[in-house]
A and B are shown apart, each in its own frame.
Chain A
Amino acid sequence: MSIPEESVETTEQPDVVMADALVVNDQDDGSDSGEYVEYWIDLFLGKKGHEYFCDIDTEYITDRFNLINLQKTVSKFTTVVQYMVDDLEEGIIESMSPARLEQLETDTRKLYGLIHARYIITAKGLQKMLQKYKAADFGRCPRYHCNHQPLLPVGLHDIPGIDCVKLYCPSCEDLYNPKSSRHSAIDGAYFGTSFPGMFLQGFPEMCPKHPTKRYVPKVFGFDLHKQAQLTRWQELQRLKLEKLLITKGINLNESGGYQF
């Protein structure tokens, strides 16, 4: 248990403000009353709007190899990591000013998100995301012809603070905005740009058959010409691709093929 150097400067304000509801440890009998401690990660995952996140193993977070290049993203990196895995000594948290504690909380959330982006493309992380995908935790595709296909979260950038999370539909291979505003505020970098690709590479059987049905606007039963022409041209492109794939000996009746 090495107390990090940063803690020295934070002890300047010894005001014993009741730390926060975050650290539910008001039992002063035992030094570490295991059952009463609520883990930071569990609290974080239980918050409204954090349904897209999966829980990261503590071993993964504490392995410094996994955190390479993340040191610069938050200040007081060691404290943040310790806080995340509930390894920070009680006294240090209590001695922090509310503002400092708030800063620590935001930093921890950010770091958790960035570690999350790395974790979900590991074998274990993919497995956890598979469970969430099967439960449709990320929502379902709003496109009518996709038949409520579960979605996958994806970022458009790997750098935090640029754009928020989007949802990828493996059925129509398109990108959608999250339905709820509390999800659309999550940073896309917390999921990363490569996650859906890695996920579908890891579980090819999860790749649905792509729907080929289209909708053409009609007026009293007659197709609108312009739209219908475009649809025909697009269908031609599809038939070309289909032909190419068949000549390469790819079975299009399996997952990843087409639904007729």
Chain B
Amino acid sequence: MSFIEPSNDSSDSGNYEEWIPTFCSRFGHEYFCQVPTDFIEDDFNLTGLSQEVAYYRKALDTILDLESTSDEEEEKNDASSNSKKDNDAHVTRSIVEHSAEQLYGLIHARFILTKAGLQAMAEKFDRKEFGTCPRYHCGSIQLLPCGLSDTLGKQTVRLYCPSCQDLYIPQSSRHLSLEGAYWGTSFPGVFLKHFKELEDYVEKKNKETYELKIFGFSIAKEAICGPRMQWLRQYPKTDEEWEEFKKCEFEIPKELLEDNPGSQSSDDNNMSSTVTN
């Protein structure tokens, strides 16, 4: 009897749960938004995904809640199935479930770049569902999820802060194992370009930075623990710096580094080593 029960569960047509809302509301899946079924049903949106995941067809059916009928048919066809066969079906079901998650993730990465997707993500962003920036001077601005690779199994999800333009690891351990490709590498960029007001807001924000001091005294640059990362949070302020900034439009202007005479040869060596590395 116990073998029939799980199949009963899935073919329970009375009040079966839809796959997408269930998946998105699962613990640790707070970063996902719900992809509408008509987006998934449009084959054009799924171009190329059939090669990315195993059991593509079945996975797609699972996402769209079309599996229950086919399952029932199978069940009827071999009603006299032995336990071994049932066990196999159980195994494939869990594999299919896994590929359904992967497929949904990859569709999700495409969907959030569309207008409707960006809107859905913006709502989540406003509700701070992706967390806030842990950096003190960012004043808990909301973060954006971001992948470092568009292929499965390379990198887990990271969070991009539009204020300090840096990348953070999710605070909660339940988000640490989420696949980065489910959000994709382009999402923060497209989001920033779509919602211009966010960039404007960040630009107007005051750009405070922290300097470590000992009893109120600054530490010398030459000291080992001296300030050596100030550039990371630096913004052009003076006219000269803005001039410099303009020259950085397409590349780092090397000539600006060579105006300082003295120990030219050693500097050149060091310069080339930094560039090559």
Contact = CB atoms under 8 A, between A and B. Distances in A.
A254 B225 CA distance: 11
A145 B227 contact: no
Given A142-B171, A196-B212, A197-B214, A174 B229 contact: yes
A238 B186 contact: no
Interface stretch (A24-32, A46-54, A68-76, A199-207): A199-207
Contacts of A258: 228
Interface in A226-260: 226-227, 229-248, 250, 254-256, 258, 260
Q: Chain A, interface size: which category? A: 35 or more
A154 B210 CA distance: 12
A176 interface: yes
A247 B248 contact: no
Interface in B217-240: 219, 221-236
Interface stretch (A12-20, A37-45, A88-96, A216-224): A216-224
B186 A172 contact: no
B220 to A, nearest CB: 10
A104 to B, nearest CB: 32
B134 interface: yes
Contact of A194 (B214, B232, B253): B214
Interface of B: 134-137, 140, 146, 158, 160, 165-169, 171, 185-186, 188-190, 192-193, 199, 209-210, 212-216, 219, 221-236, 241, 244-245, 248-249, 251-253, 256-257, 260, 262-263, 266-267, 270-271, 274, 277
Given A194-B213, A207-B225, A239-B257, A142 B168 contact: yes
A215 B167 contact: yes
B231 A247 contact: no
Given A175-B136, A176-B134, A245 B168 contact: no
B225 A170 contact: yes
A142 B158 CA distance: 10
A227 B165 contact: yes
A248 B248 contact: no
Contact of B228 (A204, A239, A241, A243): A241
A237 B231 contact: yes
B236 A175 contact: no
Contacts of A230: 165, 235, 245
Contacts of A239: 252, 257, 271, 274
Nearest to A222: B189
A224 B214 CA distance: 39
A143 B192 contact: no
B248 A232 contact: yes
Given A217-B189, A245-B221, A143 B168 contact: yes
Contact of A144 (B169, B186, B223, B226): B169
A128 interface: no
A119 to B, nearest CB: 16
Top 10 closest pairs, chain A to chain B, by CB: A200-B225, A256-B224, A197-B214, A237-B231, A173-B229, A260-B277, A219-B189, A144-B167, A175-B136, A217-B189
B225 A197 contact: yes
A67 interface: no
B228 A194 contact: no
A166 interface: yes
Contacts of B140: 177
Contacts of A241: 221, 228, 230-231
Contacts of B256: 236, 240
A168 interface: yes
Contacts of B134: 142, 176-177, 179
A219 B224 CA distance: 38
Contact of A145 (B167, B228, B274): B167
B257 A240 contact: yes
Nearest to A152: B212
A168 B215 CA distance: 16
Contacts of A232: 248, 251-252
B224 A255 contact: yes
A143 B136 CA distance: 12
Given A176-B135, A236-B256, A168 B229 contact: no
Nearest to A140: B169
B267 A243 contact: yes
Interface string A72-108: 0000000000000000000000000000000000000
Contacts of B165: 215-217, 227, 230-231
A198 interface: yes
B112 to A, nearest CB: 13
Contacts of A235: 231, 252
A243 B216 CA distance: 27
Given A175-B135, A219-B193, A238 B231 contact: yes
19 contacts: A143-B166, A145-B167, A179-B171, A193-B213, A193-B216, A194-B213, A197-B219, A198-B214, A201-B214, A207-B225, A219-B186, A233-B241, A236-B256, A239-B274, A241-B228, A241-B230, A242-B274, A256-B223, A258-B228
